[in-house]
Amino acid sequence: MIKPNTQIEPLREDLGRIITGSFLTSTPYKRWIVSKRKNEINKLWEQCLLVAKRDNLVIGFGSDEYEASKALTLLLNTLFKQGSEMLVFFLNDLLHFYQDETKERIDVSDLRLDMKAAGIEEDLIKQLNDIGKDETATEEIKPVALTGEQKVRQLEDNYKEVSKGDRNSRKSIEAYLEWHKETLLYLSCYYSDMNSDFKEFKNLDNSGNGHSLYSNFNKIYAKYNLLMSHVSMQSKDNSKKGNSPMVFISHSSQDKEFAESLVDLLESIGLNKETLFCSSVDGYGLGLSDDIFETLLELFENHDLFMIFLHSPRYYKSSVSLNEMGAAWVLRSGFCSILTSDMDFSGLTGVVNGSKISIKVNAQDAASRLNELYKILQEIFNLTPLDITQWERKRSIFLKNVNAIKYTE
């Protein structure tokens, strides 16, 4: 089975949205690849195509377009093994040819990010700088960035249109799978498995053929639409407030060490004293003469607060913490619950429970749950994403530190 090298898998996926199997089987592409005989790319392509055809015979599925797509995957794997220069040279050449042939303007921003993630040097990536530029235009036209909701709805409309034809075609299957994947990524920022509709959507069996996927789409559509509409209404309500967003860490003062580690993590992703409040941490809390209850009231009135509750046995002994929880519930603030290592889900009481994202720091899914929280905060604060390796390192340090805390009670 031909699969992309894991380091360049995102690159292969994003390239596939531009260079399709139908283009790879077109006469202009065949003419172009033959012209590459000087650098022997054409011979390498022929070898990759032959392997793809043999692979197709083994699995008994696929068309000429499918074989050509697999051949491109194999070619990219081979070039990547030979060195980043060879890979970037080929992609730059291919994308220029595609742009000249189709007269389409290409957005290579995702490809650049994929190359960076694969460890390709910035100087090499710069070779793609002039792709997508319209030399005849007098003024640069910047592509309009879609919101998460708009992207999901666009993919939904695309699948509806494609499935009007052959529902079992590869194009229809790929359209469905891309819609489901992007929708799951988007909705996971707002729901957890505690929501039965989201859990059902997440656990759809998409291993069947195109007819089975079409049945899945119709079966889940009403619940999917309800989930999307609820998120949309929440977003509109927040935009009407016009208040700046802020993270409020609600915790017991006895859990100061835990709170400090959390603040360090949030600082690393781009939050600061203008977007983060934590009363136990210097620079993020109260002044010496400030009144705690007046400050809380001001924050709730002037900001769209996203609450992070640090649940611990000590939290439920603090009247201030419980008042914060009650205020968040009354004002319908977004929230996430984080449980200390000595706190169990069975101990969650009050108006805020585990119905949304809940993270127990010594649980097996703690890292993935923190990823969900990070996605939510990126969306709320429009944060510049960290390099994945950098984020994983910061996340690991946080979990290591908070799980090392010793509790006496």
pLDDT in tens, 101-148: 888 888 888 898 989 988 888 888 888 887 876 444 444 444 555 677
- pLDDT digit string (tens) for 277-312? 988 888 887 654 455 666 776 777 778 888 898 999
pLDDT at 329 over 60: no
**Nearest CA to 159 among 171, 139, 175, 135?**
175
Higher per-residue pLDDT: 333 or 19: 19
Distances (CA, A) of 361 to 82, 325, 341: 42, 20, 6
Question: Can you give the pLDDT at residue 138?
Answer: 42
Distances (CA, A) of 384 to 23, 268, 302, 355, 388: 34, 11, 24, 28, 12
Question: Can you give the pLDDT at residue 336?
Answer: 84
Task: Calculate mean pLDDT across residues 175-199.
Answer: 84
Question: Can you give the pLDDT at residue 404?
Answer: 95
pLDDT at 240 over 50: no
Question: Can you give the pLDDT at residue 127?
Answer: 84
Task: Calculate mean pLDDT across residues 205-227.
Answer: 91
* Single pTM value for the model: 0.44
Question: Can you give the pLDDT at residue 279?
Answer: 84
**Nearest CA to 306 among 351, 360, 361, 249?**
249
Q: How far apart (Å, rounded) are the C-alpha atoms in residues 165 and 186?
A: 27
Question: Can you give the pLDDT at residue 268?
Answer: 93
Give just the sign of the alpha carbon dihedral 158, 164, 166, 168.
Answer: positive
Question: Can you give the pLDDT at residue 331?
Answer: 52
Mean pLDDT score of the chain: 82
- Least confident residue range of 138-152, 157-171, 378-392: 138-152
Question: Can you give the pLDDT at residue 351?
Answer: 46
Domain boundaries, given as residue ranges, for the chain: 6-128, 148-239, 244-403
SS3 of residue 282 by DSSP: coil
Higher per-residue pLDDT: 409 or 27: 27
Q: How far apart (Å, rounded) are the C-alpha atoms in residues 201 and 224?
A: 7
CATH of 244-403, one of 3.40.50.10140, 1.20.1250.20, 3.40.50.720, 1.10.3210.10: 3.40.50.10140
Q: Under a CB-based contact definition with an 8 Å cutoff, are residues 377 and 306 in contact?
A: yes
